[in-house]
A and B are shown apart, each in its own frame.
Chain A
């Protein structure tokens, strides 16, 4: 697999504070790579360095083989960047907006017209072609901004919190759009502090906090490496007494650390084991006569993983700042 993005010991200092304290990343072609971390972790700084808007204080980064320090122009030609906060020109129409950025990349007029039409189609704004950008909803502006990052058919997309401020529906649409882009062979680096958003989307993630990578790799790999338990939710059919019996049955299993009856009638299990173990548990529960309606992993895997990882690593602040 080709490496599309690579950083080596990336450091960024702002007037004494250390925003990025040595980040090493390696992102292969065609990946959707998630950069997860709380606010102020250094996600935006990292993305801005990769998009040549900031120069690193130390370290080096390459995008598609071009150095962001020595060859920013080549980097700019292969990336599409969507910043976390972005403005729109208030006196522009939607098609003019895309046309303008296409001009910035020196795309000839005939191709420009086709690209603008295609992109509007892709981000589902075809009907808004002649509307003013300022009049679009937040979700539409977000999609338009994503479209602007695609005018030159970049190999790498750098998306900083693309889903922030979107309603759930727009979020789902964005996710679909990113999946579609991945099938087009784009490498996507996406940052977020909302974890479930990334979990369903990313092939790999890096959890960063205070400018450092705490863990990186496939979500399942990180999970295994850290031996973090999963949370299982089981819905069992029956009366309250039967539910209590079911809870006790689950609690007796050696791999179940905690078993709790939730208010909505579900049983939540703190489970220490891999998929193999959870399949066995389900089979055993069915065999034991429990009438199981649903049996699933809680969606907040990554969130708990994240909390666990960031809790493991709590260096005192002055050590970071040194």
Chain B
């Protein structure tokens, strides 16, 4: 890598990409207007339009072929801080199950203290007249059930707590 090329990391939705300044400056990018870019990468073409830019937070909103993306740029200092572990370590253990959509609780299949394993049904949520079984992804022990049959829930509302 060239000596004076700064390293950047860009988080776009759930994806993370790393580029050096040189890579960006040498990529096949045509600037059509201050906010519009045409990019060729391995012969694939895309029009990218920057809808919003917050330079102080280095946060952007871009449209690629009709799809909207949220992007955040991190520079070398940000990356250094991240690597020193000052940010929260993501907890991997699931402690609660939240409603993936708004709906109506039809039926609850578990009770506190019960041991469940991956694929077991916790409850049935009705949304837009469809019944959706909410399953558990991993084995766990039910700590508490936060809803009752017949109850309407919002997206993200706590349904079941796990030990």
Partners in one complex: no
